[in-house]
Amino acid sequence: MGKKIPTGVGIAIVAIVAGVVGLLVWSNQAIQTQPTAQNLPTAPQSSLKGQVGNQNMAQNVSQNQAAVQNIETDKYKDWATYKNDVYKYQFRYPDGVKISEAKLNEFSKPLEEKMSFEQVYKKYTGKICVTLSYKSSMILISAPANKTFDYVLCGRSGVGSEAKAGKSETFIIGGEKYTVETIDDKDEGVVNHWGRVKFSDGTSIDFSSSPGEMETIREIIESYQKI
């Protein structure tokens, strides 16, 4: 007959075996419940496409803005800059443009104005009306203080007998669109293209362009900006 295993030892062996089995079962369950690449949540394809599309759109907008900025820079890169430090604006102009400011003898004043002409000139300065002459064309910029030409005649005051409605001209100035109804007026046999751009602050830009010079006149006007 074989030897009997003491009761205490048998119980201990059973407990060890049960513990080992339990550990193996728990380990197997833990391995099965660990996330795998297949079980991990993924972003919907439509969401990923939308994100990529938005990134591409933002990149395209940025590139387009840079291109526009480069075009503007190139257009005026060889042009000089006039700055009006009294009425706080500037514009660009090419070679061949002559710039003048109103002289004292060009000033007038309303009847109710109590100041002398010298005092008026000192207060508003010649920069109240700036004239650009380019070949046979002209641009006049009248400051807000002169919005009804009270102090300097800084623009066209009437039309000739042969004047007729011209085509509309559209200007983009400071990101804003301005549509000007023009007049074609004959002066000494030459038809001049005339118009006026009006700003909400009272500034006005009058122009008179001879044939073939309107593109340059437009570029000068569109370079106008407040400073």
* Domain count along the chain: 1
119 in a domain, yes or no? yes
For residue 109, report the phi and psi dihedrals to the nearest 5 degrees: -160, 150
Which domain, by its residues, includes 180?
80-226
For residue 53, is it within any domain? no
Flag whether 17 is in a domain.
no
Is residue 47 domain-resident? Answer: no
The verdict on residue 209 lying in a domain is yes
Residue 50 lies in a domain: no
Is 101 part of any domain?
Answer: yes
Locate 56 and state its tokens.
């591409």
Instruction: Report the predicted TM-score, pTM, of the whole model to 2 decimal places.
Output: 0.67
Q: Rounded distance, CA 110 to CA 130, Å? A: 20
| CATH number of the domain residue 150 falls in | 3.40.1000
Q: Is residue 184 part of a domain?
A: yes
**CA pair distance 91, 79, nearest whole angstrom:** 10
Tens digits of residue pLDDT in 55-80: 666 566 555 555 445 555 678 989 99
CB contact set of 93 (below 8 Å; sequence gap of 6+): 79, 80, 81, 82, 99, 132, 134, 220, 223
pLDDT band at residue 123 under the 50/70/90 scheme: very high
Determine the Cα–Cα distance for residues 151 and 219; give it in Å rounded to an integer. Answer: 28
The pLDDT value given to residue 211: 81
